[in-house]
Structure 1
Amino acid sequence: MASKQWLVEDYEAGDLPLTSGETLHSARLRYHRIGELNAPKDNLIMLPTYYGGAAAGNHPWVEGNSPLDPDRYCIVIPALLGAGESSSPSNTAGAQRGPGFPAVSLNDNVMLQKRLVEDIFGDARIALVMGWSMGGMQALQWGCLFPTQVRAVLATCCTARCYPHNRVFLEGVKAALTCDHAFENGRYRSPPERGLRAFGRVYAGWAYSQAFFRHELWREQGFGSIEELLRFWEQDHLGQDANDLLTVLNTWQNGDISDNPVFGMDYEAALSAIAMPTRMMPCTTDLYFTEEDASEDGRRMPGATVESLESDWGHVAGGAGREAASHNRILAAARALLSGKAS
């Protein structure tokens, strides 16, 4: 592991037809890669990214004594379209810059990732697709669309579609951002800082559970007060582009693994296609990707086992390196899936 370094590369896909019927011009997929593909081409691991996160946010899953060992596996982290690294409103030229950027779906992201696997990795078999939050939704999308190529799926703190209360939560953070007069319907001349700060503060109240605040678990993150945590969330969102945030939020709100030509909105059929060994790992205190919704999805996937994360950290528990106990349980599940010992 010590001799291997992450490589940051771009896959230039040209004009990309989208589920909406629009075309994303000169589409580019940013990805991080570590480890080498073996001769049988069956040791590829995909780690799709989550909302508001850069590809490097998944690196902790590969560090230390992780079963995601770059001496054994070729590990790829593809960055979400719209999130600031791959093609996004903030880095696209011409008419598709800013508010002109087209809507992209879970299917669009995964089909672009599929092209990456075909063109750069020889259409390798995928030993594991693993993700948190929107990364988990992409993992499930991979599982249902390519069941013969994907050997195992691990999805933490997510569901296979965005359920109604989750959509309402997202409407709240969206409103906090767009009500800033400086937003100017996405045509802002300078960042809408008040809206970005409000977005971060509102989001922080949903990312963790009530018990997280009641038991002052924010102290474990090094904060001296709730106000310090909220200021951290403000600063984090001041570093992001407003149109990028809204583009990926739209992907999330409309996320549904059956929304593609293969399943034609037949949600039961999409869930039924996930017959490979799959681990659904919701958190017991997640406020928007709820344990109830995730468990119900898991029960309808023939290959899935539901293993809840007992944690007061809410949605954050499912992220790479966020909360030690949950992080270790997630990696134990990954180890079982990679060894073939998980059902």
Structure 2
Amino acid sequence: MRINNKNRSLAVSTVDQKSETIPADTGLLAPNPNTRFATLFDEKNPFLPERGGELQQVQVAYETYGNLAETGDNAILICHALTGDAHVGNNPQQGDLPGWWVEIIGPGKSLDTDKYFVVCANFLGSCYGTTGPVSINPKTGKRYDVDFPEVTVRDMVRVQHALLQQLGVREIAAVIGGSLGGMQVLEWAVMFPEMVRRIIPIATTARHSAWSIALNETARLAIMNDPDWQNGNYDKQPLRGLSLARMIAMISYRSQPSFQERFGREEVDLVKLNGSARILNDQPPRFQVESYLRYQGIKLVKRFDANTYLTITRAMDSHDLSRNREPLTVVLSNISAKTLCIGISSDVLYPPHEQREISENIPNAEYREIISEHGHDAFLIEFDQLNKMVSEFLVS
């Protein structure tokens, strides 16, 4: 998803990519003053991923806003999306830069920090401070890279649960998140029903469809077919592959009307074109929409890691609430948390009917829809609508 880290990215995409080398560890953002780190599990009690392997320790990067009540029951957990991080809000007194959901977090906003203890943790397998492929394997002293264990959405939730226990959270007022974040939200309701009072899954699905898996696989193949990927053992980021993967994804994050309105058939001014638009070392783009996609591709390369992208998209493809459980309708019907399921009218990645399926099968659920031409990314854009929906739900 599109995360607004433009003020914190490690470099700007205005260079000639023919001569640039991007180190393999550029997936880490510059440290944020509000980011904290927790170490979970140990050699005697390691984390055991659902599909095998072992992690003796898991470091988790997280941020909190507001104060935890003495009763430990006023927490709101935010689950972020594919290329997101824990920096969702803003603590100006600490020299903070605005986070990617700052418009809905803070005093008087829908996630009111005068009332709630808001937590967002970078999930397992990411590259923004939590243990993942760019982390050092204590057994080898080198990066895990492709040796990092396969993880699932359920693994992400188990690590989040361990973190909240360490923070003293006894009960969660609400779990909220969009896209992959919404998948985590749903798993929270299934895995820890006694702890979760409300859930707000946004622009998500109860199980990853063939359509979504196909998009992810195409993106993964773009990475793995880049010679610089080197079977996952690279010293510099596979620039072409990762940027192409992002370009593929960006098409699914928007919509045909949004592209048409913004770009139409407008052509590029070749005089003003800089090297950032030639990330694939081919002919310069003719149309503005081509230039836009290439720009988005190189922006991701500046702040993310290719093996991490493979790991997380495979985790997304593993998502199915009914996997090794009862039929999906039964699993959904057993969710006891009060639920607000939010869809987006123009979402082509997780169309509204997928959110309606969720809300229609959860006993205490309602469905609302963000009306927008921005496509899947609207939950990161249409803040007026989102604030209203979330605020009304939390006081209902």
Query: Please, what TM-score do these two structures have when normalized by structure 2?
Result: 0.76
Q: Given that residues 28 and 87 in structure 1 are in contact (C-alpha distance below 8 angstroms), is that contact kept between their aligned partners in structure 2? A: yes
Alignment equivalent of 1:127, drawn from 170, 173, 179: 173
Partner of 1:35: 66
Alignment equivalent of 1:109, drawn from 136, 143, 156: 156
Partner of 1:75: 118
Q: 2-side partners of 1:258 and 1:142: how far apart?
A: 14
Q: Given that residues 128 and 154 in structure 1 are in contact (C-alpha distance below 8 angstroms), is that contact kept between their aligned partners in structure 2? A: yes
Alignment of 1:81-100 (within 5 A): 81-85=124-128, 86-93=130-137, 94=139, 97-100=144-147
Q: Given that residues 125 and 150 in structure 1 are in contact (C-alpha distance below 8 angstroms), is that contact kept between their aligned partners in structure 2? A: yes
Q: Given that residues 208 and 316 in structure 1 are in contact (C-alpha distance below 8 angstroms), is that contact kept between their aligned partners in structure 2? A: yes
Q: Given that residues 46 and 128 in structure 1 are in contact (C-alpha distance below 8 angstroms), is that contact kept between their aligned partners in structure 2? A: yes
Read off the aligned partner of 2:148 and give its amino acid letter: F
Long gaps (5+) in structure 1:
none
- 2:186 is paired with a residue whose SS is helix
Tell me: CA distance 1:328–1:211, structure 2 relative to 1, closer, same or farther (3 Å).
Answer: same
Q: 2-side partners of 1:25 and 1:186: how far apart?
A: 22
Task: Name whichever of 149-158 and 56-65 sits farther off.
Answer: 56-65
Long gaps (5+) in structure 2:
1-31, 88-99, 267-286
Q: 2-side partners of 1:19 and 1:137: how far apart?
A: 16
Tell me: CA distance 1:64–1:120, structure 2 relative to 1, closer, same or farther (3 Å).
Answer: closer
Alignment of 1:17-32 (within 5 A): 17-32=48-63
The offset of 1:64, in angstroms, is 6.8
Alignment equivalent of 1:149, drawn from 195, 220, 237: 195
Q: 2-side partners of 1:207 and 1:64: how far apart?
A: 30
Read off the aligned partner of 2:375 and give its amino acid letter: G
- Structure that is richer in helix per residue: 1
- 1:255 is paired with a residue whose SS is coil
The offset of 1:236, in angstroms, is 2.2
Q: Given that residues 206 and 288 in structure 1 are in contact (C-alpha distance below 8 angstroms), is that contact kept between their aligned partners in structure 2? A: yes
Deviations 1:120-161 (A, max 9, x none): 22x421111000111111111111222232111111110122
State yes or no: 1:236 paired with 2:315: no
Look at both structures and tell me which one has the larger radius of gyration over its CA atoms: 2
The offset of 1:217, in angstroms, is 7.5
Q: Given that residues 82 and 313 in structure 2 are in contact (C-alpha distance below 8 angstroms), is that contact kept between their aligned partners in structure 1? A: yes
Partner of 1:328: 384
Q: 1-side partners of 2:289 and 2:52: how far apart?
A: 45
Partner of 2:82: 51
Aligned length: 323
The offset of 1:39, in angstroms, is 1.9
Task: Name whichever of 269-278 and 59-68 sits farther off.
Answer: 59-68
Read off the aligned partner of 2:299 and give its amino acid letter: D
Q: 2-side partners of 1:178 and 1:296: how far apart?
A: 35
- 1:294 is paired with a residue whose SS is helix
State yes or no: 1:61 paired with 2:104: yes
The offset of 1:196, in angstroms, is 1.6
Q: Given that residues 176 and 199 in structure 1 are in contact (C-alpha distance below 8 angstroms), is that contact kept between their aligned partners in structure 2? A: yes
Q: 2-side partners of 1:25 and 1:246: how far apart?
A: 22
Q: Given that residues 7 and 34 in structure 1 are in contact (C-alpha distance below 8 angstroms), is that contact kept between their aligned partners in structure 2? A: no
Alignment equivalent of 2:332, drawn from 263, 271, 277: 271
Read off the aligned partner of 2:306 and give its amino acid letter: A
Partner of 2:343: 282
Read off the aligned partner of 2:114 and give its amino acid letter: D
State yes or no: 1:315 paired with 2:376: yes
- 2:79 is paired with a residue whose SS is coil
The offset of 1:275, in angstroms, is 2.7
State yes or no: 1:173 paired with 2:216: no
- 1:46 is paired with a residue whose SS is strand
The offset of 1:67, in angstroms, is 2.0
Query: Please, what TM-score do these two structures have when normalized by structure 1?
Result: 0.88
Q: Given that residues 129 and 154 in structure 1 are in contact (C-alpha distance below 8 angstroms), is that contact kept between their aligned partners in structure 2? A: yes
Q: 1-side partners of 2:247 and 2:49: how far apart?
A: 33
Read off the aligned partner of 2:295 and give its amino acid letter: F
- 1:24 is paired with a residue whose SS is coil
Q: 1-side partners of 2:103 and 2:135: how far apart?
A: 27
Partner of 1:304: 365
- 1:16 is paired with a residue whose SS is coil
Partner of 2:309: 245
Q: 1-side partners of 2:231 and 2:307: how far apart?
A: 9
Deviations 1:240-277 (A, max 9, x none): 11001111111111112344xxx636433321222322
Alignment equivalent of 2:251, drawn from 182, 202, 205: 205
